[in-house]
Every structure is written in C-alpha cells, then in structure tokens.
C-alpha cells in the first residue's frame, strides 16, 4: 500500500460510513478499514463523472448572450458556435481543454466523456496526423490528470434528409472507413486513465445505413453516445422523414442497451421514457446547457419512477460544476411542477443523496471506466469536501450532501485524487496558474479579428 487516507466520513452506496480508512496502491483502492476513529480525516466521496463535454465550447461561454435575431434559438446559437469552432487548431484546442479539465477537477469531476467532432482542419482537410485534434484532447487530459473517455464522433450529413455537410460542418465529417481507422488508432493508446468509445453526433448527422454499418464494425462493448432529442425541430423532422420520434426510432432500429448513453433525451413521450429505462441505457442530462440553449425539461420524476439510469454533463460549459447541474436539475422540476423535493427515492429522504446516486450508479456503464464507488479493487478516484467551511456548520452526516448541493456558491471541494494521485489541493489544481495563462493567450488569439 502506498498511502492510507483517513476518512471521518466515507460515502458508500448506503450513505455515510463514519471513521473509515482508504488504502491505495497502484491507482486502486485496497481494503477499506472501518470503524477506526479518525477524527482528523476528511469527508470523502467518489469523484463525479461528467458524461458530456465539447471542450472547445469553453472558450465561448458568455459570448452568445446577445440577441442576434428576435427569434434567437438553439439554431442561431449554433451559428455562433460554428464561427468559433472554425478557429481552432490542435494547440488552441489543447490550451482550452486543459483549462476546462483543470476547472472540472477543481469542481469535483474526475472523469470526462469528451464528445469530440472537431476532427479536421477548418477547410475540411484532414491534418497530417488525422488524429491530431484527438491527440490534443488526450494531451490535455494527461497534463491535468483527469480520467478521459474519448468519444470520436461520427458526423456525415447535415440533416435528416441526408443533405451534405455545410461549409462550417466540413471539419466534422468522415466516411465510415476513415472514422473506423481513427477509432482503431485511438484505441491503441488506451491506458489506465484513457478509454475510447464512439459517439454518433445525432440522427440528423448519421444516416440509418451508416449507423447499422458502424455498429456492425465497432468492437463489442465500447461506450456509445448520441445526441438524441434536444429540440422540438429535430423531433418534427424525424417524424416527417422517418415516421417516428427520435427516441422511438432509435429504440426500434438500434440495439440500445447499457452500452448506450442518450444525451439530451429532452423531448419524450411516456412510452419513450419507459422504453429508455427498460433498455438499460443511461440518459445524460445537461441542465445548465439545456437551460442556456432553451431546450426544454427532461421528465425526471417519471424516469426515476421507471428506474432509469442517468448522469450529468456540462456540455457547452456555461457552468463547470456538478453542484450547479444537480441543483438545477431539481430546480427545473420544482419550477415546472410548483412542488418541492422532486428527486427523492422510494423511501423519500434526501434530495441531495438521490441526486448524487444517479451519476455514481451509471458511472461505469456510461464511461467504460471510473466506477462511482469507494470500494476495494476499484479505481482510486475521490474528492474531499471542506468540512471546515461555514456551509457545513453543525451538519449531521445525513445533511452533508444536501448542504454541498443546496447551500450557497462557495466551492466546497478541497482535494481531488484521480487514480490515487492528488491533482487538486486546497481547492486549486496543481498547475492552475500555468494552465490559465496559456488559456488566456489562446483565447485572445482565437477571438482576435
């Protein structure tokens, strides 16, 4: 054992365990020691998985909040996003992703699923190394120490009607062979903190035959992510061209199971909600981005009643905080239903603990790694809350998670470890300053006319 970390409180699937110790060796937990009073220890929780990220969009957070049209919508936001996407190269992508991943670690995310479609140069031509942009993301993850599930994205068409990619979309595109070569190349680089899965950008961007062919050619068991039903407009287009709603179509035409993560399963009928839950797939909900883009509200209560798996993502990174995602997941439901305390388990109880269990329970299946538990043999990823913070004054163990998620705005994550290595101390990433100054330079260049 190379280290013992004492816990005054240790999070288990059944709630807090008092006075336990965590042994760590080779990046994994050894046997847990229980019942040894360690009043000096911290309050330890598993790291939180972030199931959905487009790293480059961190550089445009706050830059799409001016009206461009009286009917501003997701689709006008997307034009602004495409303009900024066009400016990235591998170096600027690495600089922005490193800043983002350092912020994620400081906030308590220890794994990120990167839904990556900025593959080629902005004129659409592949880089000399066709994986250059993927390598930039891998490098950013390695330098910051975050666990990465890289999801190269298959993006082929500009809409349900199969129209070709627009000029701005050309750098996202692949034919199937080129895409499979990229996936294979990246899979050769997997290590203890890197997994490679696959994403289908959306049903808009991947025709039915290509989806089937990709699924037949891809290795079994890898994580599969897709944007599914974020906007009413795409539900209507799907109905018009495929005679089914997006989730309905996917469930009927693809082998959806626990390997799948459905991102933005926002617009659902009752049958679709129950169907996803039955399939075993994970839903990735991105409350702050979905609010920012005016998407709509996920039917959380019905989905919890159906026993569905779910997690959270910070997506466009207008916020980089599991606290804000989970808090706004609950608040959206309260605003809509005019009731309180919606996300509770069958036995009622703490909203915070119910909210925390969702992303931890789906962590392994959605990320292909990073089990969301502090248990022997599992990857040693954990966060420590600042028990001295005023927000925790007088907290009983059963209050700690509710206080973390619902009391104030001061960051309460003090330390973060990934694969047994400490990457955040006193709330700051170990390389925060150097990463931030490179980020400032990169963004200045990106935004210059």
Distance CA 202, CA 165 (A): 13
Nearer to ligand NGQ, 206 or 309 (CB): 206
Question: Using an 8 Å Cβ cutoff, are 6 and 41 in contact?
Answer: yes
Judged by CB, which is closer to ligand NGQ: 78, or 428? 78
Closest CB 112 distance from ligand NGQ, rounded Å: 15
Shortest CB 406 distance to ligand NGQ, Å: 26
339 is a catalytic site residue: no
Q: Coil, strand or helix: which one is 371? A: coil
Angstrom distances, CA of residue 278 to CA of 256, 258, 307, 398: 10, 10, 8, 31
Q: For residue 219, give the DSSP letter.
A: P
Catalytic choice (6, 295, 315, 386) = 315
Residue 413: beta bridge partners? Answer: 385
d(CA 398, CA 394): 11
Q: Which is nearer to ligand NGQ, 309 or 318 (CB)?
A: 318
The residue to which tokens 């190379």 are assigned: 2
The number of C-alpha atoms within 13 Å of 118 and in the hemisphere containing its C-beta is 26
DSSP label of 389: S
Which residue of this chain has its Cβ atom nearest to ligand NGQ in the complex? 54
CA-to-CA distance for 235 and 239, rounded, in angstroms? 6
Q: What are phi and psi of 255, to 5 degrees?
A: -80, 70
Residue 293 vs 329, nearer CB to ligand NGQ: 293
Out of 264, 267, 417, 429, which one is annotated catalytic?
A: 264
Q: Could you tell me the smallest distance in angstroms from the CB atom of residue 363 to ligand NGQ?
A: 21
Q: Which is nearer to ligand NGQ, 38 or 202 (CB)?
A: 202
Nearer to ligand NGQ, 55 or 419 (CB): 55
Categorise residue 379: left if φ over 0, alpha if ψ from -120 to 50, beta otherwise. beta
- Least separation, in Å, of the C-beta of 239 and ligand NGQ? 18
| Interface residues toward ligand NGQ, by CB under 6 A | 54, 78, 202, 227, 230, 264, 289, 293, 315-316
Give CA angle at 355 (349, 360), nearest 5°.
120
Q: What is the DSSP letter of 348?
A: B
DSSP letter (8 states) at residue 113: E
Closer by beta carbon to ligand NGQ, 265 or else 413 = 265
Distance (Å, rounded) from C-alpha 50 to C-alpha 43? 21
49, β-bridge pairs: 111
CA distance 433 to 435: 5
Smallest distance from ligand NGQ to CB 98, Å: 20
Structural contact between residues 384 and 413, judged by C-beta atoms closer than 8 angstroms: yes
Minimum gap (Å) between residue 279 Cβ and ligand NGQ: 21
Rounded CA-CA distance 160/408 in Å is: 44
Q: Of the two residues 10 and 182, which places its CB atom closer to ligand NGQ in the complex? A: 182
Tokens 């909210």, residue? Answer: 355
Cα distance between residue 277 and residue 26, in whole Å: 36
In this structure, what token pair is assigned to residue 388? 């001295």
Does the active-site annotation cover 264?
A: yes
Smallest distance from ligand NGQ to CB 119, Å: 13
- For the CB of residue 310, give the shortest distance to ligand NGQ in the complex, in Å: 17
Pick from 55, 130, 153, 53: which is nearest to 98 by CA? 55
Rounded Cα distance between 423 and 36, Å, is 27
- Rounded least distance, CB 315 to ligand NGQ, Å: 5
Looking at beta carbons only, is 56 or 439 nearer to ligand NGQ? 56
* Residues with a known catalytic role: 264, 315
């Amino acid at each position: 054992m190379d280290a013992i970390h004492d816990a005054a409180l240790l999070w288990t699937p059944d709630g807090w365990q008092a006075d336990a110790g965590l042994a760590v060796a080779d990046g994994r937990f050894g046997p847990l020691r229980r019942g040894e009073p360690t009043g000096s220890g911290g309050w330890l929780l598993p790291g939180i998985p972030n199931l959905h990220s487009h790293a480059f969009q961190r550089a445009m957070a706050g830059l799409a909040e001016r009206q461009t049209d009286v009917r501003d919508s997701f689709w006008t936001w997307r034009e602004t996003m495409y303009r900024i996407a066009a400016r990235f190269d591998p170096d600027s992508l690495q600089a922005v992703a490193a800043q983002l991943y350092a912020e994620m670690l400081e906030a308590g995310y220890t794994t990120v699923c990167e839904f990556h479609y900025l593959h080629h140069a902005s004129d659409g031509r592949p880089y000399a190394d066709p994986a250059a942009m993927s390598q930039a993301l891998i490098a950013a993850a390695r330098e910051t120490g975050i666990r990465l599930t890289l999801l190269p994205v298959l993006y082929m068409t500009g809409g349900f009607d199969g129209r070709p990619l627009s000029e701005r979309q050309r750098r996202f595109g692949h034919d199937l062979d080129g895409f499979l070569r990229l996936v294979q190349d990246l899979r050769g680089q997997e290590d203890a903190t890197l997994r490679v899965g696959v994403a289908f950008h959306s049903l808009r961007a991947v025709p039915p035959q290509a989806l089937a062919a990709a699924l037949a050619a891809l290795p079994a068991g890898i994580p599969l992510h897709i944007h599914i039903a974020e906007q009413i407009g795409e539900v209507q287009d799907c109905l018009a061209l495929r005679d089914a709603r997006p989730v309905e179509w996917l469930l009927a035409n693809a082998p959806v199971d626990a390997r799948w993560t459905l991102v933005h399963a926002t617009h659902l009928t009752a049958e679709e909600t129950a169907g996803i839950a039955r399939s075993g797939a994970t839903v990735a909900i991105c409350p702050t981005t979905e609010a920012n883009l005016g998407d709509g509200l996920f039917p959380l209560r019905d989905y919890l009643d159906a026993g569905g798996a779910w997690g959270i993502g910070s997506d466009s990174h207008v916020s980089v905080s599991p606290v804000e995602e989970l808090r706004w997941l609950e608040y959206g439901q309260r605003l809509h239903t005019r009731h309180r305390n919606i996300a509770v388990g069958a036995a009622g109880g703490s909203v915070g603990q119910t909210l925390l269990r969702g992303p931890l329970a789906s962590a392994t299946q959605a990320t292909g790694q990073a089990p969301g538990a502090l248990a022997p043999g599992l990857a040693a990823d954990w966060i420590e809350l600042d028990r001295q913070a005023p927000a925790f004054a007088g907290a009983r163990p059963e209050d700690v998670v509710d206080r973390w998620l619902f009391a104030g705005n001061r960051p309460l994550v003090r330390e973060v470890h990934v694969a047994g290595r400490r990457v955040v101390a006193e709330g700051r990433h170990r390389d925060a300053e150097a990463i931030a100054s490179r980020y400032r330079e990169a963004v200045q260049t990106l935004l210059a006319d």
